[in-house]
Structure 1
Amino acid sequence: MENFVVSARKYRPATFRSVVGQQHVTTTLQNAIASQHLAQAFLFCGPRGVGKTTCARILAKTINCEFVEEHVRKGRPVSELLKTQPDLVPDALQKSPAPDNTPFELEACGKCSSCRAFQENASFNVHELDAASNNSVEDIRSLVEQVRYAPQQGRFKVYIIDEVHMLSNAAFNAFLKTLEEPPSYAIFILATTERHKIIPTILSRCQIFDFNRIKVDDMRNHLRYVATQEHIQAEDDALHLLAQKADGGLRDALSMFDQMVTFSGNHLRYQDVVQNLHILDYEYYFRLIDALLTENLSGTLLLLDEVMQQGFDLHNFVVGAAEHLRGLLVCKDPVTVQLLEVSDNIRSRYVQQAQAAPLPFLLSALNLVSLCDREFKQAKNQRLHVELTLMKLAYLNSAVQFARDLQGGVALPTANNEAKKKSPDVTAPPAPTAVLPSAGPAANGRLVADGTAEAPAVYSAGPANEQRTTNNEQLAHAHAPADPEPIVPVDSGVEEMHDTPSIEDEAATEVPATSRLRDTVPHVEIGKPSIAGHEPGQVAVTAAPLPPPRPGISTGKPLGLGSKLPGLGSLSAMKAQLEQKAAAGKAAVDAEPSGPATGLPAINDDVLQRVWAELKEERKAISPSQYSLLNRPVQANEQHVILLRVDNPVQEDQFNELRAELLGELRRRTGYPRLNVQVEVVERVDTGRKLYTSTDRMEYLMEKYPVLVEMKQRLGLDVD
């Protein structure tokens, strides 16, 4: 039985022309050989299966070819070689009528003794080393020892080190000197998939070639060539799917190709590839988008269950859905259809479905699916997470249409689920409007053809028309003034805790605020509210200004938080106004006559005690110390003076702080405007006995309870 050779080895490129998808590398190497500008060290970088080791072998074979030696280095024309040594001339040049004038790509002849030895793996000039298993210092020292010996046949000795990033740091350091100054006949070719793991001193001594991932079309054409050579009938969609699944690696594509041929025989079909490689077919995603566009939620959930029954991973399904939506998005424009790397049959289906899918739907759906992809790993119930995303996608068209209706103001659903068209009333007073804050000159509107910014949409707050309208519709139903209306910023509701300076002086236009207090508590005599500071039955006049609030008690908004902020010029005036108010509040109390007054009505003690108790309870919620200060018995004399006895001067100072405010409330609630409070400091004289030690407390108890003396004597107890 003949040994089977996998396609990756059987159809491995033997010339630069047969290398797939790396023309930028092969052209540079051919020009370097033709111009005799070969470097001493090369570094081939790139992903797996893209031809790094293959190009290294082709380079080693070509530089030792006898045709290259005679034609390039010795300068002998091709016509002369055809007469003297025809076996050294490649077949492409032998068939040419004018070989000396025919442009050709420099390739090895494949006929000389050096080329035949290389093809039979018997060449002594090419040495391959696997750095993954030979990564120690001793292995590199052995390599350096071999470099000393010149080649017995041929011009160059080539050392190919694969997976060079696996070398240890010590091995790299041992290799530096030889790599920098090798003999003239030594050439090193290093290959790696992880360039970042190689130390910079090695990189600086090499010519670096970056290999690209092989394109899907190039890989599919190579698979078609292999299938033709093996007499296998393969569908184009099947080969394209294999190339797509290989992810840029030709070796992976050839391995899967051999596997599919073993499964399906000489006829490779698309369904066989889908079934054997366990790939989510495009058909699932086409059915998914069709169900979502028709708002078929049941069909969408059943499709998801079918995918799970087939054994596919839910995360792969989400990623595939995002790729499918991206494909539909690029197919919306004929210019970007080429970005879709699929076969022609699948591309036509993409274009057909993209025409039926609205652009807002595709953008919103792609956003939702991407969000589902990001949060998939954190979800506890991953199936429910995907199903919720599909539910949102199923009704996405309705949501987009509803948003359009709101934006355009065409119709809005009412309480009875009926569409109510806009009917602006020109005679009705205009409703207050608010414009959203903008970040730039044209952020609140769109640019029209003449380059000006179109007015932004406004939101009506009127009672008869509570819906958003655009500025264009307002212009169509009402006479707009010549100048545009000023933009009114929306109040954010956040109050600043300090004054904001202004460049304008608004002191002249600012109206000082006046406050009027109205008593809401019924008067004790007539049962009706009265104006503060006046007896019942008198004519009400303007109330005196309130005394300044005591520090620590919030009485309202901070200064300067009205509709207009004070300017720099009004700060001094405001300070003077505060001082004037403070002086007026103090004068309201100090101006009272201090001498004895006659003819005053008698004070109702019940009313006084009730009002004093109310004020005391109100102060309890503000400050416990003030409550303790007022929690004392009070009584007024004939001159309407209340004597308040305190314990120390500190309490006297504390009462003086709230004296003005307390007297104002006391007079207003009792209805006696001559009422006053006099503070008297009365120090307590404590004649009690101080019990500091245990002995003192025991003696006090024995004096109070003589039975303890007898108990102590009988039991022989002592004070601890």
Structure 2
Amino acid sequence: MTEESPALGLDMPMQPRDAGYRVLARKYRPQTFAELIGQEAMVRTLGNAIKRDRIAHAFLLTGVRGVGKTSTARLIAKALNCIGPAGNGGPTIDPCNVCEPCISIAEGRHIDVIEMDAASNTSVDNIREIIEAVRYSAVSARYKVYIVDEVHMLSKNAFNALLKTLEEPPPHVKFIFATTEIDKVPVTVLSRCQRFDLRRIPADLLASHFAYVLEQEHVVSEPDALAMIARAAEGSVRDGLSILDQAVAHADMDSGGKVTADQVQGMLGLSDRGALRRLLTHILDGDGKNALAILGEQHALGVDPAGVVRGLLELVHGITVTKVGTTDDPALPAEERAALAEWAGKLGHGTLHRLWQMLLKGHDEVVKAADPREAADMAVLRAVYAATLPDPGELARRIAEGGVAAPAASPTPASTAPADFGALVARLEAGGRYALAQLLHDNAGLVRYAPPELSLRATKPLPVDFARDLTAALKSFDGMIWQVGLADEPASATLLEQENAARLANEEFVKAQPLVAGLLEAFPSAELTGWTLNRSDAA
């Protein structure tokens, strides 16, 4: 059995030729800090600490899955224990990868670098073993390094048992902790560690890295395919490389194994970005028929309905951030960036906000629905209807400027409507809708009366179907379609409050008349009842 020389990016510098295939996520695990993408700030800090001989005794690495926490821990272990090709080197931010400590640490067999999975070693007994072992010096390395992955899984007693050793470890011991859930690590542990937050890797940087990997693997790919994989990875290098591995295996052998956007889209069940843009165009145009047709096409292709709505949310978000002037996402295709810029120039913030809220609610409904396809149809149709409504801010501006004409769609001219709110209540009462008339009279303050628009503020809770029932009742009188809304805005007093105020004002007027005032003064316990008032005759 022969061995080959190490290649750039391999996590096992020496590997037998017949060892079998290794997945890309393992094969291209970084072996130097220079290969660790997207974490420049952490690398700079570690490099300066090593150069100045200010190396902490404990490190805590946190971040989402697949951003390089375990790889970074191994790199730190190599950096601290590297002795260089000549065997006389010291700690360095650029480990040589050829000395015995570097090779054995990369292969996971160095006796002084102990890796422990806290998910399966949670008890205080496991920590006691570490506490007992730290008393002994390293066998062959400069430092004895303990790498504890998913450290948040340790029990409370295990954390407590570790605290004293973690605060004052022997000079030959270094601890490196890694976790995806930093909030579950006790503050007593956090305060004893030098913390590094590993960032999510930007999609454009991931796409560039995947292009490099495929170049090393002699696989041809389309840029759009790599951009899809980078977005699906959600900032995780490992997730992205796993998807890339699958995409290479999925590629059509007849085309030379080329990784194409269409194949990646089908493999991941992603919605076609072009179809999503056409769908959003139909929604904004109020074209429900063609919008449903595109939904049907995507469903026939096996695309998850929730994924379609999620794609629409991404588009609306992209339009919004483009509108406020953020930098274009380089991972997006050029045609999509152009479409976002065009929409951003046409759509107002109010329209985008309303569309976002409706799609967000629709996504929640699709996820929970017994039939996601039907829920997606209804969510899109609701968005179609909302997109055709006038923007409230623009409508208010035009009203203020006197530029809004009477609604042309009203079946009956507004002049046939009741003259005022009181007349409308009277019409309801005359038409036998006593309950509605009573609710309007007693519990509704008027915000706006501009037939066929009626805006009210409830002074007491109204029935859930109040607006719908009132609209139906008013339409039954003359065919006019009213727009009834409840608003939390300043409103006039209810009709009942106005009547009570008028009665009290009249009573005070009567009491102020000389004859009545004299009688009330002579008889202090007397009350004013059963009176009538004719103000024109009052002296």
Return the TM-score normalized by structure 1.
0.54
CA drift of 1:66 comes to: 1.8
Who is 1:33 aligned against?
Answer: 50
SS at 2:161's partner residue?
helix
More helix by share: 2
Q: Contact between 1:26 and 1:55, CA under 8 Å: does it hold in 2? A: no
Who is 2:40 aligned against?
Answer: 23
Higher RCO (CA < 8 A, seq sep 6+) = 2
Who is 1:57 aligned against?
Answer: 74
Deviates more, 1:336-345 or 1:172-181: 336-345
The CA deviation string for residues 458-488 of structure 1, in whole angstroms up to 9 with x for no partner, is 9898xxx9999xxxxxxxxxxxxxxxxxxxx
Change (3 A) 1:559 1:417: closer
Alignment of 1:538-553 (within 5 A): none
Q: Contact between 1:214 and 1:248, CA under 8 Å: does it hold in 2? A: yes
The CA deviation string for residues 147-199 of structure 1, in whole angstroms up to 9 with x for no partner, is 12212333211111111111122222222222122111011111111122222
Who is 1:161 aligned against?
Answer: 148
Return the alpha-carbon distance in structure 2 between the equivalents of residues 135 and 412 of structure 1. Answer: 72
The CA deviation string for residues 252-271 of structure 1, in whole angstroms up to 9 with x for no partner, is 00011011001105311101
Please say if 1:411 is aligned against 2:405: yes
Who is 2:519 aligned against?
Answer: 580
Return the alpha-carbon distance in structure 2 between the equivalents of residues 302 and 583 of structure 1. Answer: 86
The CA deviation string for residues 24-51 of structure 1, in whole angstroms up to 9 with x for no partner, is 1111111111111111111111111111
Who is 2:204 aligned against?
Answer: 217
Q: 2:308 aligns with which of 309, 317, 327?
A: 317
Partner AA of 2:122 in structure 1:
N
Change (3 A) 1:340 1:491: farther
Return the alpha-carbon distance in structure 1 between the equivalents of residues 185 and 391 of structure 2. Answer: 56
Who is 1:562 aligned against?
Answer: 505
Please say if 1:368 is aligned against 2:358: yes
Who is 2:340 aligned against?
Answer: 350
CA drift of 1:374 comes to: 4.8
Change (3 A) 1:107 1:575: farther
Q: Contact between 2:62 and 2:182, CA under 8 Å: does it hold in 1? A: yes
The CA deviation string for residues 122-157 of structure 1, in whole angstroms up to 9 with x for no partner, is 422211111111222222222222212212333211
Return the alpha-carbon distance in structure 1 between the equivalents of residues 327 and 176 of structure 2. Answer: 40
Alignment of 1:142-221 (within 5 A): 142-221=129-208
Change (3 A) 1:348 1:133: same
Who is 1:250 aligned against?
Answer: 237
Partner AA of 1:22 in structure 2:
Q
Who is 2:493 aligned against?
Answer: 492
CA drift of 1:411 comes to: 2.8
Return the alpha-carbon distance in structure 2 between the equivalents of residues 216 and 337 of structure 1. Answer: 14
SS at 1:562's partner residue?
helix
Return the alpha-carbon distance in structure 1 between the equivalents of residues 173 and 332 of structure 2. Answer: 46
Return the alpha-carbon distance in structure 1 between the equivalents of residues 409 and 338 of structure 2. Answer: 46
Change (3 A) 1:132 1:582: same
Please say if 1:263 is aligned against 2:253: no
Q: Contact between 2:271 and 2:303, CA under 8 Å: does it hold in 1? A: yes
Who is 1:232 aligned against?
Answer: 219
Partner AA of 1:5 in structure 2:
R
The CA deviation string for residues 683-703 of structure 1, in whole angstroms up to 9 with x for no partner, is xxxxxxxxxxxxxxxxxxxxx
Change (3 A) 1:404 1:10: same
Q: CA RMSD in A?
A: 4.3
Q: 2:290 aligns with which of 292, 299, 314?
A: 299
Please say if 1:391 is aligned against 2:381: yes
CA drift of 1:330 comes to: 3.0
Return the alpha-carbon distance in structure 1 between the equivalents of residues 311 and 514 of structure 2. Answer: 70
Return the alpha-carbon distance in structure 1 between the equivalents of residues 308 and 390 of structure 2. Answer: 25
**Identity over aligned pairs, percent:** 35
Who is 2:22 aligned against?
Answer: 5
Task: Give structure 2 stretches of 5+ with no counterpart.
Answer: 1-17, 422-446, 455-489, 532-539
SS at 2:38's partner residue?
coil
Q: Contact between 1:496 and 1:561, CA under 8 Å: does it hold in 2? A: no
Partner AA of 2:96 in structure 1:
C
The CA deviation string for residues 575-608 of structure 1, in whole angstroms up to 9 with x for no partner, is 9956725968999xxxxxxxxxxxxxxxxxxxxx
SS at 1:25's partner residue?
helix
Who is 1:520 aligned against?
Answer: none
Return the alpha-carbon distance in structure 1 between the equivalents of residues 26 and 344 of structure 2. Answer: 42
Return the alpha-carbon distance in structure 2 between the equivalents of residues 378 and 586 of structure 1. Answer: 69
Return the alpha-carbon distance in structure 1 between the equivalents of residues 391 and 205 of structure 2. Answer: 44
CA drift of 1:309 comes to: 2.8
Return the alpha-carbon distance in structure 2 between the equivalents of residues 86 and 222 of structure 1. Answer: 32
Return the alpha-carbon distance in structure 2 between the equivalents of residues 152 and 197 of structure 1. Answer: 34
SS at 2:406's partner residue?
strand
Count how many residue pairs are aligned between Structure 1 and Structure 2.
Answer: 441
CA drift of 1:295 comes to: 3.2
Change (3 A) 1:61 1:577: farther
Alignment of 1:553-702 (within 5 A): 557=500, 561-562=504-505, 580=519
Q: Contact between 1:88 and 1:112, CA under 8 Å: does it hold in 2? A: no
The CA deviation string for residues 490-518 of structure 1, in whole angstroms up to 9 with x for no partner, is 63226669xxxxxxxxxxxxxxxxxxxxx
The CA deviation string for residues 43-86 of structure 1, in whole angstroms up to 9 with x for no partner, is 1111111111111111111111124xxxxxxxxxxxxxxxxx86
Q: Contact between 2:67 and 2:235, CA under 8 Å: does it hold in 1? A: yes
Q: 2:97 aligns with which of 95, 110, 117?
A: 110
Return the TM-score normalized by structure 2.
0.70
Q: Contact between 2:510 and 2:516, CA under 8 Å: does it hold in 1? A: no
Change (3 A) 1:347 1:575: farther
Rg (Cα) greater in structure: 1
Change (3 A) 1:153 1:387: closer
Partner AA of 2:230 in structure 1:
A
Return the alpha-carbon distance in structure 2 between the equivalents of residues 86 and 2 of structure 1. Answer: 30
Return the alpha-carbon distance in structure 1 between the equivalents of residues 41 and 520 of structure 2. Answer: 88
Change (3 A) 1:187 1:378: closer
SS at 1:8's partner residue?
helix
SS at 2:505's partner residue?
coil
Partner AA of 2:272 in structure 1:
D
Who is 2:487 aligned against?
Answer: none
Please say if 1:140 is aligned against 2:127: yes
Alignment of 1:407-556 (within 5 A): 407=399, 408-413=402-407, 491-493=492-494
Q: Contact between 2:350 and 2:391, CA under 8 Å: does it hold in 1? A: no
Q: Contact between 2:113 and 2:147, CA under 8 Å: does it hold in 1? A: yes
Q: Contact between 2:248 and 2:259, CA under 8 Å: does it hold in 1? A: yes
Change (3 A) 1:231 1:391: same
CA drift of 1:352 comes to: 4.3
CA drift of 1:386 comes to: 3.8
Partner AA of 1:492 in structure 2:
A
Partner AA of 1:365 in structure 2:
L
SS at 1:268's partner residue?
coil
Change (3 A) 1:86 1:329: same
Task: Give structure 1 stretches of 5+ with no counterpart.
Answer: 68-84, 91-104, 423-430, 434-457, 469-488, 498-555, 588-656, 665-720
CA drift of 1:275 comes to: 0.5
Q: Contact between 2:67 and 2:198, CA under 8 Å: does it hold in 1? A: yes
Q: Contact between 2:269 and 2:304, CA under 8 Å: does it hold in 1? A: no
Return the alpha-carbon distance in structure 2 between the equivalents of residues 12 and 251 of structure 1. Answer: 9
Who is 2:478 aligned against?
Answer: none
